[in-house]
Structure 1
Amino acid sequence: MRRTRIEEYEKGGYRIYRVPSIVCTDRGTVIAAYECRFGGDWSAMDLAIRRSTDGGQTWSDRMIVAEGHGIDAIHNAVLFADGSMVHLIWHRNYREVRYMRSLDQGLTWSEPGDISDAYIRLRKRYNWTVIAAGPGHGLVTSAGRLIVPVWAAANRRDITSHHPSVVTTLYSDDHGETWQCGEIIWDREDFVDPNESVLAELSDGRMMINCRHETGNGLRKVGFSPDGISNWAGFYFDGQLIDPVCCAGMTQGDGHLWFTNCACGKEEGRIRLSIRRSDDDGRTWPYRRELAEQGGYSDVFYSPPRKMLYVIAEAGRATEHTFSFGLSIISLSPEEIG
């Protein structure tokens, strides 16, 4: 297992580095995207990318691909690895969404296009006040669909609040040319404020969503859809996946699922950053390895060309009164889990 700290708290021109996304291309290039913040969720922030062409041993200098110009929050970057193409969506002030693509392994990127109309159309079904996809990477299905969970909140009394919330998906069936939103996964008494979620495509072609939520029982909630955009059903609380109400990561490959999160209760803070493996489409998670004593938001991606897992995670939370976030990338082989 190799651990590389790529950003340090209050170093490099920003205060905090948070909310990461990571993918690996079909040529083995690892690309990470994340927020470079001057403060909290609504502070001014920029969006950065780093690349590794040697399997995570070394990383490029930080490249700013979208700027907040000291005013706007540029947040929730989502990367998609689509063969030789890499897609990137990102958000401005929890209301607008932009789309970019790279044809050269993340070296250069297209000018951002505005795809906010997909979110605007969603307002006919859920009149949101703030909205964002991810965090984490987006999924490219076996049929070529680009898809990522989206959380949306509607609060007219406090238009900056992230609650109450629901979940849907944002998807494209034409490699990023056009985008639209799927069916809403609702807020209800036994599923309070579903929000930041992750997806996997199962061996039978169904989509599984694994949700963060505010129900209060300390367990992730899981449900299924035939296509990732409609007819969600079969939801249950997974008693194996304890969670402190935090963003998690999920990836798949070679018949396995891997899941990363802080394997602890809410009262413990965000500790025991761990990775788990399932060999039966997420029904059981018998294999677990702890990656760090402290943790936060994480994302994980499996690279078939390199037969390696890449975990990017917030690291170095100081106290309950002090934000202290940097970012680390952990490279490990599947054999190191279990």
Structure 2
Amino acid sequence: MQHIIQALKNFNTAKFGEYLHDNVLYMEVSKKTFLKKISSEFNELKKQGYSRFDESYKGTCEGVCHIGYEGLSFVCNSGHYLDILIESKDGVFIDGLCICSKLSNNRNLAKKYNLNILFYEEDKVKFKPSEVYTQIKNQYKNIVNEVSKFKEPITLKQFVEWYKKYKFFKDYFNNRHPYEMLFNRHRLFQKTQRIKSDLDDISKVYANNKKATKALLDFEELKTEEEKLIWFFKNQDNLYGAVRFKLPKKYSKNSIASAKIKKVTIKIDLTGFEHVLEYFNKIYDLHEYFIEKYKPLPEHYKDKNYDVSYDLEVYLKLHNKHTEIVAQYGLNYH
């Protein structure tokens, strides 16, 4: 095993590859795919100035999948590490391996940054797309193709009507729990979620037409800081509503905005919806005002007991201001 350990320790994927069987799957992927991934991770470390792991240590898996199996921790002094289980029947070639997320060592190691040796489902040799997967893939391709062929400028109403065609696409992701999609290991679904976010952000302008009208009227009646803060919290779900758009300098005279969908920039005619962008910008400007007013003081940064995360609710808490409003309307309290 020492030759295998040395190859990994020295980031030598070519030598390590000599000990892998050509016809064996490693973590359900081919030898070539596995070596490409681990080589990529080693190259990233090399870019940061690390040429090898400083040491390797034995450990025991405490996870459900391989509980009790012996493994190895490869650790850099920087805190980068690789926890791996290796099976070798003859002590020369590797018959099986997997990355371990629950490897326990008999000493305290400075393991901070885990090498991300994970594979998408599509990378696995035995991957077979489901009917849903295929349908999502086809709709994704159609969306990308059709967006690139929009006759510009497209009106916002035309865009919304076009997007309705992809109800299955939208509903699939809307009906999934966020954590389910966060840990989903399908490359396709990660790509489709990104483009769906682009499409949804544009659609938000249309969806907030009536809400924006009422909110702007309410805003004109606000007098105190407390009233403005409550208004902000009630509308903060649209804090970044305008971020998707690039607006012309004289927006009041020209309502043609640019928006990016994937890598394609489209022009959208927002005539009749200018007030929605005004509403989005008021929310953002109010947020920036409060963020600046209640930003952490030097003493907050010095005291490790303080949470100084970039968050308005956190900032208000640091200053012990408007606590009742935050408790009633803040997102972190619901």
TM-based fold match above 0.5 = no
**TM-score range, shorter-chain basis?**
under 0.3
TM-score (norm 1): 0.22
- Structure ranking higher on relative contact order (CA contacts 8 Å, 6+ apart): 1
Larger Rg: 2
Q: Which has the higher helix share?
A: 2
Higher strand share: 1
TM-score by length of 2: 0.22
